[in-house]
Amino acid sequence: MSNLIEIKVPDIGGHDNVDIIEVFVKVGDTVAVEESLIALETDKATMEVPSTHAGVIKEVKVAVGGKVSEGSLLVILEVAASAAATPAAAPSPAAAAPATQAAPVAGSHSGAADYECEMVVLGGGPGGYSAAFRSADLGMKTIVVERFSKLGGVCLNVGCIPSKALLHNAAVIDEVKHLAANGIKFGEPEVDIDALRGFKEKVIGKLTTGLAGMAKARKVEFVRGIGRFIDPHHLEVQITTGEGKEVTGETKIIKFQKAIIAAGSSVFKLPFVPNDPRVVDSTGALELKSVPKRMLILGGGIIGLEMGTVYSTLGARLDVVEMLDGLMQGADRDLVKVWEKWNAHRFDNIMLKTKTVALEAKEDGIWATFEGENAPKEPQCYDLVLHATGRVPNGGKVGAENAGVIVTDRGFIPVDKQMRTNVPHIFAIGDLVGQPMLAHKAVHEAHVAAENAADHKAFFDARVIPGVAYTDPEVAWVGVTEDEAKKNGINYGKGVFPWAASGRAIANGRDEGFTKLIFDQDTKQIIGGAIVGPHAGDMIGEICLAIEMGCDAVDIGKTIHPHPTMGESIGMAAEVFKGVCTDLPPQKKK
């Protein structure tokens, strides 16, 4: 038996005539309890109104552009008779955090200003420069404040780009070595480390010069210095000079109408890490001063493993220590296993479930003491230690509280789906608003923030954000992982295409990888995917698009991919899920 019930707008904090900015459901849709029906926007926040019952939508009574108040009828839902009495759920504001923490008391500045602008962007990383460029493109007079001499932030200067410049060289060296098995021998590579460092610097220079040109072309003003809010409309900048962030003693005041905070993140440093040039973070490792004989990587995440790959190819022996039970957390274990097998030759010790508890700088090296399941009994000596145990947000370091902006204890700045902080004219983006700390997330958030600041309507509502380890082989994943699906009891199915059956992978001599797609068994839509193998990171974008578009296995499998390519493996994995793949032995009928 079933009943028809009315779902109405619950208490939405006393707001009346609130704009409907999105309707997530249509007639015939099946919705679960707590599933969002519509999104509303007040002048302070956006919020989603969830369904109080599970059922099938029979009528939708609202549309985008309409307005609702408490009690307005949203949908008519057909529910099982027994479910009709479920209690109402509260609306779930996207800006959950701002509502739960008291806003700090803002400062007040009544003095003069050296600059005036419609938009100030604090921080010139991928989030910051993208926000500044988009703001300027939308007609706002924009200033970007950056403490270093160049735009680009961590990503361009000491992150994504320099690491990939070095990884590319390492991959070519490794590839050439593999050619020996095909009868092509080049001999041992001679590495001029100064020239290699020079190449990396040239790559950075090319990109940062390009950014400076693009800023100029848009008339985005660059103010070089350390910025700090002094009230909700003024930023004080301590002007800096030189290569680093040395202050000159000069101070400038910027008066702004709107602001985007994009001050990024910093390396998390364990308390016992000594101040010694033989102990480096990722920035120090990228300086590539020399190649150690024995190197310890503290932390088995992506950054540590990428840098370890470079140093190992250049000749270092690696140890890695990781507190958790596996390297490259976040990726499915079957992918990581392939990477581990391919890279086993680089490592002397992979110490899982083990902690480093002391590092001592001595004349002959850095002595590390470990504790845990796989800890060596005696301290170990290393020529170089890379600490790569994570990054912390810079939200607490920019005087945000003087502008009345809430910052969490951990230094994150909470925002809603429009990237708005609790102060409506101040936005925040990038590493300092939350995980994952990735450049592509920062850039998308930047566009959303700038567009809202320019009074356009935009939302950060990406279904998925991909992650990639640019190791060799690369490991890339997006959406629901298989491990997560199992853990959360999702009714999933998978299609796995082993690269051992790919003509192109075999021709490349690299058939160790595989492509895996995860489907929701109820809707048959793709909800996740992962690839391990060379260029996995270049291919994962197709799976991202498929998830965003709500594709099912037929959509993907029937899309003609060029042959012979590794991209074909995505179509074939979908065919495997459907049981129609002819590039593998016959499958059991589904």
3-state secondary structure of 74: strand
| Cβ at position 189, least distance to ligand FAD in Å | 24
Task: Report the Cα 188 to chain-centroid distance in Å.
Answer: 37
Residue 261 Cβ, how far from ligand FAD at the closest point, in Å?
9
Which lies closer to ligand FAD via its Cβ, residue 239 or residue 291? Answer: 239
Q: At 540, phi and psi to the nearest 5? A: -65, -20
Reading the block at residue 391, the tokens are 């990054």
Residue 513 contacts by C-beta under 8 Å, 6 or more apart in sequence? 338, 473, 499, 505, 531, 532, 533, 534, 536
User: How is 253-265 classified by DSSP, letter by letter?
Assistant: EEEEEEEEE---E
Interatomic CA distance for residues 102 and 116, integer angstroms: 30
- Asked if 563 is an active-site residue, the reply is yes
Considering the complex, state which of residue 77 and residue 303 has its C-beta at the smaller distance from ligand FAD: 303
43-73 b/e (C-beta count within 10 Å ≥ 16 → b): ebbbbbbbbbbbbebeebebeeeeebeeebe
Q: Any known ligand binding at 127?
A: no
Beta bridge partners of 78: 4, 56
Count the neighbouring beta carbons within 10 Å of the beta carbon of residue 501: 17
Cβ at position 283, least distance to ligand FAD in Å:
7
C-alpha to C-alpha distances, 514 to 245, 517, 573, nearest whole angstrom = 45, 10, 9
Distance CA 362, CA 385 (A): 13
Between 40 and 154, name the residue whose CB sits nearer to ligand FAD.
154
The span from the CA of 144 to the CA of 244, in Å, is: 18
- Closer CB to ligand FAD, residue 75 or residue 263? 263
Is 306 labelled a binding residue?
Answer: yes
List residues binding ligand FAD (CB under 6 A).
122-128, 145-148, 153-155, 159-160, 163, 226-227, 262-265, 282, 303, 394, 398, 430-431, 437-440, 442, 470
Torsion, Cα of 125, 156, 158, 311 (10° steps): 150
Residue 548 annotated as binding site: no
437: annotated binding-site residue? yes
- Amino acid, res. 165: A
Complex with ligand FAD: residue 375 or 438, whichever CB lies closer: 438
Is 301 annotated among the ligand-binding residues?
yes
Least distance from C-beta 359 to ligand FAD, angstroms? 20
CA distances from 502 to 324, 505, 511, 575 (A): 34, 5, 7, 14
Contact call for residues 490 and 526 (beta carbons, < 8 A): no
State yes or no: 438 annotated in a binding site.
yes
Give min distance, CB of 205 to ligand FAD, in A. Answer: 16
Determine whether the annotation assigns residue 304 to a binding site. yes
3-state SS class at 589: coil
DSSP string, 376-406: -SS-EEESEEEE---EEE-GGGS-GGGGT--
Nearer to ligand FAD among residue 303 and residue 476 (C-beta): 303
Alpha-carbon gap, residue 29 to 197, rounded angstroms? 57
**Helical (H) or strand (E) element with 51:** none
Those residues whose C-beta lies under 8 Å from the C-beta of residue 14, and which sit 6 or more positions away, are none
Would you say 439 is a known binding-site residue?
yes
Catalytic-role residue among 178, 234, 561, 563: 563
14 appears as a binding residue in the annotation: no
Contact 19, 43 (CB under 8 A): no
Question: In the chain, what's the furthest Cα-to-Cα distance?
Answer: 80
38 vs 263, beta carbon nearer ligand FAD: 263
Q: Is 351 annotated as a binding residue?
A: no
CB of 145 vs ligand FAD, minimal distance in Å: 5
Q: From the CB of 155, what's the least distance to ligand FAD, in Å?
A: 4
Q: Which amino acid is at 134?
A: R
- State the amino acid at position 314 in one-letter form: L
Nearer to ligand FAD, 149 or 369 (CB): 149
Residue list, annotated binding site for NAD(+): 299-306, 322, 390
Residues acting as catalytic residues: 563
Residue list, annotated binding site for FAD: 164, 227, 431, 437-440
